[in-house]
Amino acid sequence: MLCGIDLGHHHIAVAVGAGATDVAAHEWIPMDVDSDPGAALSTALAVASRLLAGVDDGDLPLIAVTVVVPQPVTDADGHLVATPFLHSWHGLDVPGRVRAALGVSTAIENDANAAIAEAGVGTQTTVFVKVSTGLGAGVVVGGGLVRGYGGQAGEIGHLVVKADGQLCGCGNRGCLETLASVPAILRALQPVHGQILESDLNRLLADGDTASARAMRDAGEAIGTALAPVVAALQPEDVVIGGPREIPMEHLVTGVRSRVESLVHPTVIQHLSVRAASHGPLASLAGALQIAERTARERNRRSTR
Domain count for the chain, please give it. Answer: 2
Residues 80 and 158 in one domain: no
pLDDT band for 111, please (50, 70, 90 cuts): confident
Residues 131 and 237 in one domain: yes
pLDDT in tens, 40-62: 999 999 999 999 988 866 567 88
Residues 110 and 128 in one domain: no
The three-class DSSP label of residue 65 is strand
CATH number, position 240: 3.30.420.40
Instruction: Say whether both 81 and 196 belong to one domain.
Output: no
* pLDDT digits 0-9 by tens, 185-223: 999 999 999 999 988 999 999 999 999 999 999 999 999
Based on the fold, state whether residues 242 and 291 are members of the same structural domain: no
Average pLDDT over every residue of 283-300: 79
- 149 and 235 share a domain? yes
Both 168 and 219 in one domain: the answer is: yes
| Cα Dmax for the chain | 64
**pLDDT confidence tier of residue 76, bands split at 50, 70 and 90:** very low
- pLDDT above 70 coverage of the chain, percent: 90
**Is the distance from CB of 243 to CB of 183 less than 8 angstroms?**
no
Given a contact cutoff of 8 angstroms between Cβ atoms, the answer to whether 3 and 102 are in contact is yes
Does pLDDT of 78 surpass 80? no
If you write DSSP's letter for every residue of 208-245 in order, what string do you get?
A: T-HHHHHHHHHHHHHHHHHHHHHHHHH--SEEEEE--T
CA distances from 254 to 36, 217, 222 (A): 35, 6, 12
CA 257 vs. chain centroid, Å, equals 19
Which domain does 53 fall in, by range?
2-114+282-303
Statement to judge: residues 186 and 217 lie in one domain: yes
Could you give the 3-state DSSP secondary structure of residue 216?
Answer: helix
Cα 169 from Cα 155, distance rounded (Å): 14
In whole angstroms, what is the distance from residue 73 CA to residue 63 CA? 22
pLDDT digits (tens, 9 = 90+) for 250-275: 999 999 999 999 999 999 999 999 99
Lowest mean pLDDT among 74-88, 91-105, 121-135: 74-88
* Residue of 41 and 294 predicted with greater confidence: 41
pLDDT of residue 57: 62
Q: Is the pLDDT of residue 227 over 60?
A: yes
Residues 140 and 267 reside in one and the same domain: yes
* Helix H or strand E encompassing 291: helix 283-303
What is the arithmetic mean of pLDDT over 33-42? 90
Q: Do 281 and 198 form a contact (C-beta atoms < 8 A)?
A: no
